[in-house]
């Protein structure tokens, strides 16, 4: 912990500048190698490439016809044709060498045969229909300068120029050393306390994408001697080395120490979040970078700090990624101490502008990266943004995909993912982005224009009705429709065999029972509150009311793992985890859809999926659902402004 | 030839729609295969992927500190601390499983040790510093729907969810069959009449880029039985087949016939240029596409017609490429019959807008693709564009590279390429785009704002001076500077040993001598005209005055190949080809630079290169140059408006 005080907070661009200078001073350089031209796609030329032969390398006939001396045809017109006896020309095919003494080709279509020769009605120009030597390339011409990324057409130009091999910049070998006592290879079923190591696979894919060759070393425990041994070996075998810390805070201190033991540290601590504890060092002239263990931090450090080193080793410039200007869909605060990279999803607001909503998730949550459309790049001295303010986003997905994405924020049910998959199987251009924010969250997100639709299941305690009264209360301006989805069974999920013998809601008050609840605003929590009140049980009568999970499956996972004894959820979640299920209530899970969104092709396609056989079969397989006419509009509230 | 009449002229989008429907009706489908998750980058999921284990899969301590029951700490404040005896908590490290009975972790920094226990000054909230089971993913959650292109973070999410293998769409195997009697493998030195085959290497690179696996078959001569045999074998082994015609017009008829013999042809002839004679067919449900032989046509056909089929076989949507709106730098005409794809280079005009100049080169000229920045996509019913009109360009290179490119149009000298390479070796972000348009072309291009600088060597016959009088006559508005470059020796290039015994310009009038001249506007041609006039020789006194080559090396190539006996050029070109050289004249080859361009960092860097040791060493190696102060401004004409 104490070492943390020595961490610097070097500004990102400054850290990079310092580091690249530091590496250059130590003699960092790229390797080169001879490669086959035909296999050179995506590689980088290490020196200028010159044509060895001309292309074409001989004067070639460019048409099927006759070759002759153009001057023999001079004066030929419709009224004054020229007759050529057979001895004055040669018949040629396209690609044939132009015969000695000839300087033009006449297309066969323009030749009238007869009388032991050919009659022409047009004069031929010298060199017509002849591909001259070197029309494309002359021997000695430079085809490519140094350090060009080789594209397909360049391969053609080199082969046309007789260059069958070239000197290319070698792909840098990037060693990846995962470290940490708690880290285990990500295969098989991990035991408690073991964290499956997957960063090396993520980093390998990124490095490969950038043109490097990843080399993944075995996991090294937190032991300074072993880490140094592993580092020494990797530095010998590779062009750069990533020393990856475990997920523990402070572990990167071990990384810095190991690099210092064998070499030097240039920067330890960069003013970015996530990614601050990065270590930039070298052993000899070989770059060694300490990468923090949380996966999101690691991805940011690779993108911002490792990629420029790979580019340098490949002698390749960094092309600017696609950046777009967006409006903030909601307020966001940011630290003045760091340049922050915030994962966000994108949609279009009512003015047709791109609108960004930050995905609030920790650096350990890898799925936040798979869901993000862009990274908001928040400058170091920026306190954050108000809703509606402009910000700069770096695209992670193609921006034109945003318009083809159905944006769902609402109550969790696995059927949303199943419908999304069904939609994609019908149309690979369709995307669904969904996050679980609960039923009340669905209402708020729709009101703020952050989503196009969301699942809700909100019980009105006064009359036992579902959803309608909430929409009227929370969305008084209308502009939405309630679309029928399913009825589903809510109940208590307990361990297989029901060891605590739970049969009804009042059993929650049994002593020693540990409950796992859902987050505030979740329809399932609203239902629990209602059932508790009805049966006279107080939240204080059992442990765990304040323990919040975001999804049905997350609650089921707690129960299955023995970390909770009971939780409320839907039958399909209980089934996935092999849990016993005590049914308590049947509820209406509907979709609330903005009327504007209902006009878009992607939302219409999504709603159409709900009544399709494929989706209904999936519902039956999940279990616990009944349905009448999914996709039907139950009630519509026109917009009132 | 006759079959040509049957070629249709189907509009591109219509051809594609017809073809994809045709393939779907015949049962075109994708293959799937099981692959390792860690190796899945860039692959496409064939079905939805669900988490098998939760991540974290156990309740994990998220800090080094103590684990306890939060309720024991309730009421703790600065003034009312709570003392916890050693028996009421457990010491834990980050990543440890949360001990049974505990529901919170307190950071070690917040613990005051002493008196056989720990004192806390803040109450702990339940589940604080605990990573709950499934915080990232719960078992059963859908990680990816079907048909997602797998990105690095998704690999992490799958491995975190215990998914070590997944069902992916198989990479389609794409067979490439080169055909043609005149085609030979592109290795070794080809003989006259032999055309080295390089299309298969270009197409392989493109297919690989799109995710397919190319399989290149041996070259098949123009023999219908052999072509059918090769096609039958390729269809058995591959998922789609490209039958590549030789470079001859009409050869694609053989392609269509071969496809018809084994299967069906859906479309023959598409309204695009280049690329019209494409054949879209199938053998069974396997797509077979006839690709025209000229390399540029082939590249367009692959991009426009083959790529959508590969995308379909990969179950991947086509992301829109980067398109930009440009102003036409000059007038361009286009056929109403075809949708044309015109290779063009880009620069910025005075208004800071992207300005496109078409590269006028035939479909056989592969280097035009390597030089192009973009493809102008000219609609079928468009007659072309006036200079200054808006057009749509599809980027072939990153658009931000345009601003870093020095744009050179002018007289040819190999030193331009050498300087470009020297510049790149100093700064890999710098690019040079150069085309040979002759000295007069350099003046015109600068006047039109199409270039930033150009080489000129224009002799003023009245006083023997170079360049200055031309600039004053042709660029009366000024705004340019003449930058000193080199003096170089022009002379007559003749075959080694000088078999015709040429010693002076009057020897050109010797009978049977075949000359190779340069294009109109070339400084070398201006010099020839001057020397001819001086010595009283008429252009009609020898053969070949009208035979035009674009570069010194192209003229040297003609002489070296025996296709011409003599041509005027510079010593370095003669040396490259081992020719004898009869020196005639020393001339000033200077650079004319626009004053606006001289303010840009990239042009300044280029001019700086000219005085550097590296460049001067290259000049000495080329030979025939003398220099004083290359890069020095000789004369400057301020802009007069």
Give the nearest partner residue to B421 out of A38, A145, A554, using CB atoms.
Answer: A145
Q: Which of B16, B469, B4 is nearest to B256 (CA)?
A: B4
Query: Do B623 and B583 share a structural domain?
Result: yes
Q: Which of residues 419-448 of B touch A (CB under 8 A)?
A: 420-421, 424-425, 428-429, 432
Query: Do A573 and A436 share a structural domain?
Result: yes
Q: Domain of A286?
A: 171-314
Rounded percentage of chain A residues whose pLDDT exceeds 70: 97
- With a cut of 90, say whether residue B50 has pLDDT above it: yes
Chain A residues with beta carbon closer than 8 angstroms to that of B140: 414, 553, 556, 573, 576-577
Q: Where are the alpha helices (DSSP H) in B517-637?
A: 523-535, 552-560, 571-576, 595-598, 601-609, 613-622
Query: Do B256 and B335 share a structural domain?
Result: no
pLDDT class for A191, splitting at 50, 70, 90? confident
**Does a structural domain hold residue A257?**
yes
**Does a structural domain hold residue A519?**
yes
DSSP single-letter state for residue A164? -
Helix (H, G, I), strand (E, B) or coil at A472: helix
- With a cut of 50, say whether residue A5 has pLDDT above it: no
- What CA–CA distances, in Å, run from A587 to A192, A487, A570, B186? 36, 5, 10, 71
Q: What is the mean pLDDT of residues B373-386?
A: 90
**B288, B314, B340: which is the final residue of a domain?**
B314
Q: Which of A357, A350, A353, A351 is nearest to A374 (CA)?
A: A357
Looking at residue A447, which CATH number applies to its domain?
A: 3.40.190.290
Hey, of B30, B45, B56, B95, which one would you mutate to test binding to chain A, going by the most A CBs within 10 A of its CB? B95
Between A41-45, A432-436, A489-493, the lowest mean confidence (pLDDT) is in A432-436
Compute the distance between CA of residue A2 and CA of residue A425 in angstroms, rounded to an integer. 54
**A314, A345, A371: which is the final residue of a domain?**
A314
**Does a structural domain hold residue A84?**
yes
Structure tokens at B460: 């003023």
- With a cut of 90, say whether residue A55 has pLDDT above it: no
Which residues, in sequence order, are CB contacts of A124 under 8 Å at separation 6+?
A68, A70, A73, A104, A105, A106
The pLDDT of residue B459: 94
pLDDT class for A249, splitting at 50, 70, 90? low
Q: What is the mean pLDDT of residues B522-536?
A: 94
**Does a structural domain hold residue B359?**
yes
Query: Around B213, how many Cα atoms within 13 Å sit in the side-chain half-sphere?
Result: 9
**Does a structural domain hold residue B507?**
yes
Query: Do B179 and B147 share a structural domain?
Result: no
Q: Does B95 touch chain A (CB under 8 A)?
A: yes
Structure tokens at A616: 């209904």
Query: Do B113 and B234 share a structural domain?
Result: no
Q: Does A184 touch chain B (CB under 8 A)?
A: no
Report yes or no: A624 and A488 within 8 Å, Cβ to Cβ. Answer: yes
Q: Which of A561, A607, A309, A641 is nearest to A455 (CA)?
A: A607
More confident residue, A139 or B456: B456
pLDDT class for A3, splitting at 50, 70, 90? very low
Summarize pLDDT for A566-610 with one digit per residue, the tens. Answer: 999 999 999 999 999 999 999 999 999 999 999 999 999 999 999
Summarize pLDDT for A84-122 with one digit per residue, the tens. Answer: 999 999 999 888 899 988 989 999 889 999 889 999 999
The pLDDT of residue A71: 87
The number of folded domains in chain A is 5
The pLDDT of residue A181: 86
State which residue of chain B sits closest to A513, comparing Cα positions. B101
pLDDT class for B399, splitting at 50, 70, 90? confident
**Does a structural domain hold residue A7?**
no
Strand arrangement, sheet containing A240-244: A213-216, A173-178, A240-244, A286-291, A279-283, A264-268
The pLDDT of residue A248: 54
Chain B residues with beta carbon closer than 8 angstroms to that of A54: 554, 557, 561
**Does a structural domain hold residue B405?**
no
pLDDT class for B361, splitting at 50, 70, 90? low
Query: Do B614 and B471 share a structural domain?
Result: yes
Dihedral pair phi/psi, residue B602, rounded to 5°: -70, -35
pLDDT class for A1, splitting at 50, 70, 90? very low
Q: Which of B186, B173, B251 is nearest to B219 (CA)?
A: B186
- With a cut of 60, say whether residue A613 has pLDDT above it: yes
Query: Do B347 and B215 share a structural domain?
Result: no
Concatenating the DSSP letter of every residue in B457-489 gives: --B-TTTS-BSHHHHHHH-TT--EEEEEEEEEE
Q: Which of residues 327-366 of A touch B (CB under 8 A)?
A: 362, 364-366
Q: Which of B235, B252, B234 is nearest to B290 (CA)?
A: B252
The pLDDT of residue A247: 54
Looking at residue A156, which CATH number applies to its domain?
A: 3.90.105.10
Chain A residues with beta carbon closer than 8 angstroms to that of B295: 153, 156, 160
| Complex ipTM value | 0.86
B52–chain A nearest CA distance, Å:
9
User: How many helical (H) and strand (E) elements, i.e. helices and strands, does chain A have?
Assistant: 17, 38
- With a cut of 60, say whether residue A4 has pLDDT above it: no
- With a cut of 60, say whether residue B498 has pLDDT above it: yes
Looking at residue A394, which CATH number applies to its domain?
A: 2.40.340.10
Query: Do A583 and A471 share a structural domain?
Result: yes
Chain A residues with beta carbon closer than 8 angstroms to that of B186: 159-160, 162, 164
Q: How confident is the prediction for chain B on average, in pLDDT?
A: 91
More confident residue, A352 or A570: A570
- What CA–CA distances, in Å, run from B314 to A432, A636, B16, B203, B240? 20, 41, 17, 17, 12
- With a cut of 80, say whether residue A365 has pLDDT above it: no
Query: Do B446 and B520 share a structural domain?
Result: yes
Summarize pLDDT for A154-169 with one digit per residue, the tens. Answer: 999 999 999 999 999 9
Report yes or no: A636 and A595 within 8 Å, Cβ to Cβ. Answer: yes
Compute the distance between CA of residue A440 and CA of residue A458 in angstroms, rounded to an integer. 8
Give a three-class secondary structure readout of A94-110. Answer: CCCECCCCCCEEEEHHH
Interchain CB distance below 8 Å, B41 and A199 = no
- With a cut of 50, say whether residue B5 has pLDDT above it: no
Angle at B497 between CA B494 and CA B498, to 5 degrees: 40
- With a cut of 90, say whether residue A561 has pLDDT above it: no
Looking at residue B198, which CATH number applies to its domain?
A: 3.40.980.10
The pLDDT of residue A273: 85
Interchain CB distance below 8 Å, A420 and B204 = no
The pLDDT of residue B3: 39
pTM of the model: 0.85
Q: Does A587 touch chain B (CB under 8 A)?
A: no
Summarize pLDDT for B163-216 with one digit per residue, the tens. Answer: 999 999 999 999 999 998 888 898 777 888 888 899 999 999 999 999 999 999
Report yes or no: A98 and A67 within 8 Å, Cβ to Cβ. Answer: yes
**Does a structural domain hold residue B124?**
yes
The pLDDT of residue B588: 96
- With a cut of 70, say whether residue B520 has pLDDT above it: yes
Query: Do A160 and A175 share a structural domain?
Result: no
Looking at residue B81, which CATH number applies to its domain?
A: 2.170.190.11
Q: What is the mean pLDDT of residues A29-41?
A: 96
Residue A82 CB-density burial (10 A; 0-12 exposed, 13-18 middle, 19+ buried): middle
Query: Do A440 and A566 share a structural domain?
Result: yes
**A264, A280, A314: which is the final residue of a domain?**
A314
Interchain CB distance below 8 Å, A421 and B145 = yes
Summarize pLDDT for A276-321 with one digit per residue, the tens. Answer: 889 999 999 999 999 988 888 899 999 999 999 999 999 988 766 7
Distance of alpha carbon B464 from the chain centroid: 44
- With a cut of 80, say whether residue B538 has pLDDT above it: yes
Q: Where are the alpha helices (DSSP H) in B354-434?
A: 367-371, 414-426
The pLDDT of residue A428: 87
The pLDDT of residue B193: 83
Query: Do B627 and B504 share a structural domain?
Result: yes
The pLDDT of residue B317: 81
Give the nearest partner residue to B319 out of A370, A400, A554, using CB atoms.
Answer: A400
């Amino acid at each position: 912990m104490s070492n943390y005080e020595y961490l610097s907070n070097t500004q990102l661009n400054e850290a990079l500048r310092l580091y690249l200078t530091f590496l250059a001073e130590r003699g960092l350089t790229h390797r080169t190698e001879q490669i086959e031209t035909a296999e050179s796609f995506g590689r980088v030329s290490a020196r200028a490439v010159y044509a060895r032969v001309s292309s074409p390398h001989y004067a070639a006939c460019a048409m099927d016809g006759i070759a002759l001396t153009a001057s023999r045809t001079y004066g030929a017109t419709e009224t004054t044709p020229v007759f050529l006896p057979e001895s004055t020309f040669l018949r040629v095919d396209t690609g044939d060498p132009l015969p000695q003494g000839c300087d033009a080709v006449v297309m066969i279509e323009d030749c009238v045969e007869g009388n032991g020769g050919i009659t022409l009605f047009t004069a031929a120009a010298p060199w017509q229909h002849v591909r001259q030597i070197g029309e494309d390339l002359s021997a000695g011409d430079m085809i490519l300068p140094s350090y060009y990324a080789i594209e397909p057409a360049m391969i053609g130009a080199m082969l046309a120029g007789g260059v069958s091999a070239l000197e290319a910049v070698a792909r840098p070998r990037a060693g990846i050393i995962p470290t940490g006592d708690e880290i285990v290879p990500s295969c098989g079923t991990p035991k408690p306390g073991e964290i499956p190591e997957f960063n090396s696979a993520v980093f390998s894919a990124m490095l490969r994408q950038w043109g490097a060759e990843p080399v993944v070393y075995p996991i090294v425990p937190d032991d300074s001697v072993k880490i140094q041994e592993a580092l020494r070996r990797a530095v010998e075998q590779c062009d750069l080395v990533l020393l990856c810390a475990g997920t523990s805070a402070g572990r990167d201190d071990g990384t810095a120490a190991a690099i210092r033991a064998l070499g030097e540290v240039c920067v330890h601590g960069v003013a970015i979040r996530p990614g601050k504890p990065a270590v930039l060092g070298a052993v000899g002239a070989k770059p060694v970078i300490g990468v923090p263990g949380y996966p999101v931090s690691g991805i940011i450090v690779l993108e911002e700090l490792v990629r420029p080193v790979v580019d340098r080793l490949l002698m390749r410039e960094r092309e600017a990624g696609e950046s777009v200007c967006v409006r903030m869909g909601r307020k966001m605060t940011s630290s003045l101490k760091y340049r922050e990279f915030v994962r966000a999803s994108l949609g279009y607001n009512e003015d047709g502008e791109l609108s960004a909503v930050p995905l609030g998730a920790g650096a350990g949550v890898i799925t936040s990266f798979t869901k993000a459309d862009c990274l908001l790049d928040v400058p170091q001295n920026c306190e954050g943004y108000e809703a509606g303010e402009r910000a700069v986003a770096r695209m992670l997905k193609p921006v034109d995909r945003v318009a083809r994405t159905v944006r769902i924020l609402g109550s969790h049910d696995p059927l949303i993912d199943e419908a999304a998959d069904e939609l994609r199987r019908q149309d690979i251009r369709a995307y669904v982005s969904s996050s679980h924010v609960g039923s009340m969250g669905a209402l708020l997100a729709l009101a703020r224009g952050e989503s196009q639709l969301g699942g809700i299941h909100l019980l009105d305690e006064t009359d036992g009705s579902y959803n309608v009264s909430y929409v009227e209360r929370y969305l008084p301006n209308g502009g939405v429709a309630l679309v029928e989805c399913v009825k589903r069974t809510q109940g208590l999920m307990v361990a297989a065999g029901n060891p605590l013998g739970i049969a009804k809601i009042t059993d929650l008050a049994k002593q020693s029972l540990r409950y796992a609840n859902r987050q505030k605003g979740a329809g399932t929590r609203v239902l629990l509150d209602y059932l508790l009140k009805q049966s006279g049980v107080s939240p204080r009568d059992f442990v765990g009311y304040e323990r919040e999970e975001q999804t049905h499956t997350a609650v089921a996972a707690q129960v299955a793992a023995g970390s909770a004894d009971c939780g409320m959820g839907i039958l399909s979640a209980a089934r996935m985890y092999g849990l016993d299920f005590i049914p308590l209530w049947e509820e209406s899970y509907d979709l609330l859809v903005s009327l504007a969104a209902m006009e878009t092709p992607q939302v219409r396609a999504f709603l159409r999926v709900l009544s399709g056989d494929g989706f209904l079969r999936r519902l039956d397989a999940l279990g616990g659902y009944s349905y009448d006419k999914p996709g039907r509009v139950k009630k519509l509230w026109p917009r009132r402004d």
